[in-house]
Chain A
Amino acid sequence: MSTPSLRTRLAARGFDGTTLLILPGLAVMLGLFIYPFFYGLADSIMPKEGAWYANYVTFFRDPFQYRTIASTLWLALPVTIVNLAFAVPIAFRVRLMTRQRLLTTILVLPITLGTVFVADGLLTFLGPQGWFNRVLVLVGLLDAPVKLTNNYWGVFASLVITGFPFAFLLTLSYVTGIDPAIEQAAATLGANARQRFTKVFLPLLVPGLAVTFCLAFVQAFAVFPSAVLLGAPAGPTRVISIAAYQAAFEQYDHSLGTAIAMIMGAVELVVVLAVLGARSMFYRGPTGGTKG
């Protein structure tokens, strides 16, 4: 019995001329993403002086450095929770709207304009003579303008302005993916609005919300330009990306810089894995109502 040629056997497993089309893209990713990652990992354990772990010791011994982890989390976690907490009920309302296009177009503006533009705008808008403070004084909520820029709240506001639309649009795409027939069935069986939300929608939404949380968290965690422009980059909003940038490009210690970048990736990964792990404890299954 003759065995089929190598070409035939490979094609049967899915390797043929068409499969080779992935090679250029794959090569770019290996060269620009995987190789630099391992290069960085190796670079981070070859410090300017000392043992291989010296960079990591430097980071975790110096409170000015290791506190950046806490200050980043102290910004990113509350912002993500706030954004998601507002995104869910609003997405549930907007889902019933027939013309969502104008709203989604307005909300996509801050995402496309980016954090630098938003930071520039907020510097004027939230400033002591800005419209935000003026309105609050006019309405009588405040006696005198409060300081909202160059501190924690400035960065917080910029992360809400760019992060909320992001969380909202993602949530909306998950919410509209749920078959409305499921809600109608629940309502027919006598479930009120609260029960329909907690017993029907929420379990179906948890996987999507977990992914949204992770993506929104990654964005907030990576905060950099607004923490510099709108925050107090030497004080409470000295986030970990500032520490990594300063080490690599201001002190020209790329070994320490990559080490901090690796720590940053690791901390983020821990949070993401924790959220995704918690997700697996909930229902996973189809969100459509039809038979499979």
Chain B
Amino acid sequence: MIRDQGLVSKIWRLAVWAVAGLFILNLIGVIAAVVVNSFATRWLGTWLPVGLTTKWYFSAWKEFQLSSVVFVTFQIVFTVVIISGILGVTTAYALARRDFPGKRLVVLLFLLPLLIPPLTYGIPLATVLYQIGLGGSFWGVVLINLVPSLPFVVLVMIPFIEQIDPRIEAAARVFGAGTGSLFLRILLPLLLPGMLAALLLVLVRTIAMFELTFLIAGPTSQTLVVSLYYAVFAAGVRAGQSIDAMAVIYMVTTLFWLILALQFVNPSQIVARAKQQPAS
């Protein structure tokens, strides 16, 4: 690797690292502020709270009815993951294996929801869902969350399927595998790592998806992040520590899946399809 040894480039290097370090320090400060406050007995005008307690977790769990909110959140999130997984993988398979007229248009259709702000398509979609009576319901929340998650699965899976050699499938056919056993015994094991990665990423994104869920969720179909928003929005009604305890519970549920997902994917894949490393 090329390294310049001049004074100017040394200063420049130092400045770049300093900025990066400052950013990370602030980031950790923001997260730590929430965690520390959730354990604080009283924290006013001092560096650290007066004393530590875990009582806010119990009061938050009761006040915000978190047992039902967490249950609903996982119901919604897993339903979204299963539906977008099944539909996304089949769609991605067809798009990866076949070239047909209009394919570019279909791919564009799957790209658009990721390029348009959620509220722009969320408000018309929520209006439609309210008019067919799905407003505030479980399935309304599931349907609105499919719009970003299905394309996400498709776009993650297309390059993954493309790199599986189609001759493997042809060979299985030659040896007499039917469509069912071809899928179960050849494709599924090959696709599993990619599917796992894609679905875990959808899981993490759906838990954190605020805007769309917020538009449609009713009292019985709120996810954790929407409840958190309402709690912060009405800050002052409840103790700040209680709200932060809820935020920590939300953080732990997200981080659990994030850490699981990071076993299979590179962090940069969470924002973008990772670039293929140049061959050799």
Which chain A residues have a beta carbon within 8 Å of chain B's beta carbons? 13-16, 18-22, 24-26, 28-29, 32-37, 39-41, 43, 86, 89-90, 92-94, 96, 101, 103-125, 129-132, 134, 161, 164-166, 169-170, 172-174, 176-177, 179-180, 183-184, 187, 192-193, 196, 214-215, 218, 221-222, 224-225, 228-229, 241, 244-245, 248-249, 254, 257-258, 261-262, 264-265, 268, 272, 288-290
Picked from A19, A28, A92, the residue with its CB within 8 Å of the CB of B100 is: A19
Contact A173 B268, CB 8 Å, known A121-B34, A262-B120, A265-B117? yes
B16-36 Cβ-contact flags toward A at 8 Å (1 or 0): 110110011011111101100
A-B contact count (CB 8 A): 283
Q: Nearest CB to that of B23 among chain A residues?
A: A164
A14 in contact with B19 (CB, 8 Å): no
Bound form: Cα–Cα A261–B118 in Å: 10
Knowing that A106-B27, A169-B271 touch, tell me 8 more A-B residue pairs with CB under 8 angstroms: A18-B97, A20-B94, A29-B150, A33-B121, A90-B16, A103-B24, A129-B44, A173-B275
**Which residues of chain A come closer than 8 Å to B78, judged between CB atoms?**
none
B278 in contact with A288 (CB, 8 Å): yes
Bound form: Cα–Cα A36–B150 in Å: 16
Q: Nearest CB to that of A233 among chain B residues?
A: B233
B119 in contact with A180 (CB, 8 Å): no
A43 in contact with B30 (CB, 8 Å): no
Q: How large is the interface on B (under 10, 10 to 19, 20 to 34, 35 or more residues)?
A: 35 or more
B210 in contact with A179 (CB, 8 Å): no
**Which residues of chain B come closer than 8 Å to A261, judged between CB atoms?**
119-124
Q: How far is the CB of B45 from chain A (nearest CB, A)?
A: 5
A19 in contact with B229 (CB, 8 Å): no
A172 in contact with B24 (CB, 8 Å): no
Segment among B50-58, B60-68, B189-197, B246-254 that sits at the interface with chain A: B246-254
Q: How far is the CB of A110 from chain B (nearest CB, A)?
A: 6
Q: Which of A20, A25, A33, A164 has the most B CB atoms < 10 Å from its CB?
A: A25
Contact A177 B275, CB 8 Å, known A15-B100, A249-B215? yes
B98 in contact with A14 (CB, 8 Å): yes
B124 in contact with A37 (CB, 8 Å): yes
Q: Which of B121, B130, B147 has the most A CB atoms < 10 Å from its CB?
A: B121
